[in-house]
Chains A and B, each alone.
Chain A
Amino acid sequence: MSGAESTAGVRVGRRTEAAATATVERKRPPVRPGRIVLHAFLALTALAFLFPLLYAVFTSLRSYADTAARGYLSFPRELTLENFAKAWRTGDIPLHFLNTVVVVLPSLVLILLLSSFVAFGLSRYRIPGRRILLVVFTAGNLLPQQILLTPLYQLYQLIDDSDFMYDRGWYVYDSYWGVIAIHVAFQIGFCTFVLANYMQALPEELTESALVDGASAWRQYWGITLPLCRPPLAALATLEFTWLYNDFLWALVLMSSGDKRPITSALNNLRGQFFVDNNMLAAGSLIIALPTIVVYFLLQRHFIRGLTLGATKG
């Protein structure tokens, strides 16, 4: 299996040129041979992209003893789920999954709620400087996170050193709230941008007629605008879930206790335990990747819409 795969990998390079020339030479009517080359090229490329994951599945199902004795490219003598059990225990996976839930769910709710507030305000009221505000939100989300890192780390320390926090035994550094706060602050930029665009495109008569009927701002927002925004909200929820789940940096830097870290950041502590045994590494990686893969298969449409909403609608 793997042998065929890798020759496929070599072939992909040549196919690229073949397909490129095919596109150049072929004029409007689709010629049969060109179509076949195109199919072959795309199928091989798709397979090459799936290959690392398929190989991970293959490796994760084999016992270490089997691969140690006969190599990773041999035909498996037996398949086992033992590596998954081992990775689950070694990596303290349930604990870190729970941390992920504790960080991701509140962040997600707050991000969508707060950004829809701003988007509603900016698209429905003539707030002075609203364009500048929109730029501030949008541009902030494009900053590389490392730019904020040092001051943010210091800011959290300073807050914790204040008498107010100290007397109450509260702290933001090394806390779930600290990580949630930066997730919310950073991600509302992107969501505000997408939602404001969407709300601006909604017919203004909708809220105007509600206004005439005497509906409060809250009713215009909650009762009229938000239900109409279900498509972008679904897209953003899917996309943001994946981004928050995949966050590595914030929890790594803003938390010092390894056992508080969400699953993705915990990967850094798991490295030493996992890297000695490729079978367990494969199983562990798949367990951790599974939630986003499941979301991808179930909600692919929303995921793609989320990305392209942000990118193609100015």
Chain B
Amino acid sequence: MHSQFRRRTAAVVTAVALMTGCAGNAPAAAPATTGSQPATTGSGGDTVRYAAPGSPSNAVTDPHGLLPGESDMVRMALTYDVLTVPGADGSTKPRLATEWQPDETLTKWRITIRGDAKFSDGRPVKAADALFSLRRMGKKAAENFGRMAMFDLDASKVIDDTAFELMTKKPYAEVGKALEGATFVVPEGSDDFGKPVPGSGPFRPTAKGGAQAVVFERNDDWWGPEPPSRFIEVRAVPDPQARAQALLSGQVDLAGGVPATLAKQQEGNSAVRLLRRPGATLYPLVMRMDTEPFDDHRVREAVRLALDRKQLLDTVFLGYGEVGNDLITPKDSSSPANLPERTRDLDRAKKFMADAGLAGGVDLTLHTTTAYPGMDSAATLISQQLADIGIRVKVSLEPADTYFSEIYGRKPFYLSYLGGIPFLDVVRVALTPGSPTNETAWKDPAWFADLDEALAERDDAKRSSLLADLQAKLRDQGGYAIWALSDRLDLAKAELSGVPEGIGFASAFIDQVSLDG
């Protein structure tokens, strides 16, 4: 055994020697970098290394367009200040904007920004920069899902250095929420984003890194709470398994979005900590309300009643999550609480099918993909569960790279994807009547009238209750079946602290991470 081991080792050593030979011939071997900045390499306590979901190949430097990977969000959130941020509880917290005050019509908002923020080139951050950035986002609507759609940016104007007037197209009481997360502020006039432009965020990107990793150095001029780490290294790693392995082999300190199977294996490993963010992801089952048989309310209800949600949760997400109650944004702060759980009831489901004239069953095609883990197995299991009420489902597995251009919003029956976005964002991207992205063909005029009324309501509690009613109505009459919510699973070194709580944009603000426990 021993000699065998040595022989094998010898083979490997030979391979290494061969490679060393090549290295000798390699031109322009960079001078050794260790020593000059020891903190940025290795596992020094002053650097937190984060392997985030994303691909180094499409890492963008423009903060206002499509941010293809989560690593892009994280890099932007370190580099730039945003106007407001979502708190862990789903409520809006100030960041660069300290106040957002409406006039009595709720269409004209005075946004006050802090006066002590500075871009990395020394210029102060002014209201004009903020409005310029919002306008730029407005122009790139196609690439950011129309994030500024509620604003009339042409009519908005700068008041002074620290305040601007933001006009909305209709009375809109949730302006604070609309400014959350992606409203990265860049210097006025920036138009070339081939390289990052100066930011005023808690960190600054350094030239060090290479194709895959970006090393950020603490911005000591930042107005906010001093980040405990001097360096944060953000690395885009496309493969979830590779992210987890990188953490387990000590090559990074935090791995975002790891597979549930691997998380399960690490339960009981004291060197690592499993971080769970409840309700981060859902794969809504979409039924288009303008297509047979889903144009019949009873069929949609039958589908919702036929789902065994617990079985889906346990199979698809290995139990990391909670069963869904058909609410599209159950973690939104305005989501209705205390609604009875919808559970499997095959008798009622069959009765609904019979009432709809489908006692003999119906043949359907359910589209799914492998873009996100478990989407394919979810569709298979759903097809088996629906067979119990006579719905014969053929599962069609589609290529991941065209799923959101060919299937999403087009096919009558498919699995969609939502990652921790607030209710009003879902309304904007998926419930707009007449738009190609209205995936369930939801167009109840009364509902939209109620929505306008809710958004014109000044009283927070009253508005929240109106929004809750809207979500409850969508749950019962809409074209979605939300069968489970999965946790977002991150693996961290045991001594790592300061990882933000909350889902969606909230999870991108990692400036307070620290390896000091």
Q: Do A and B bind each other?
A: no
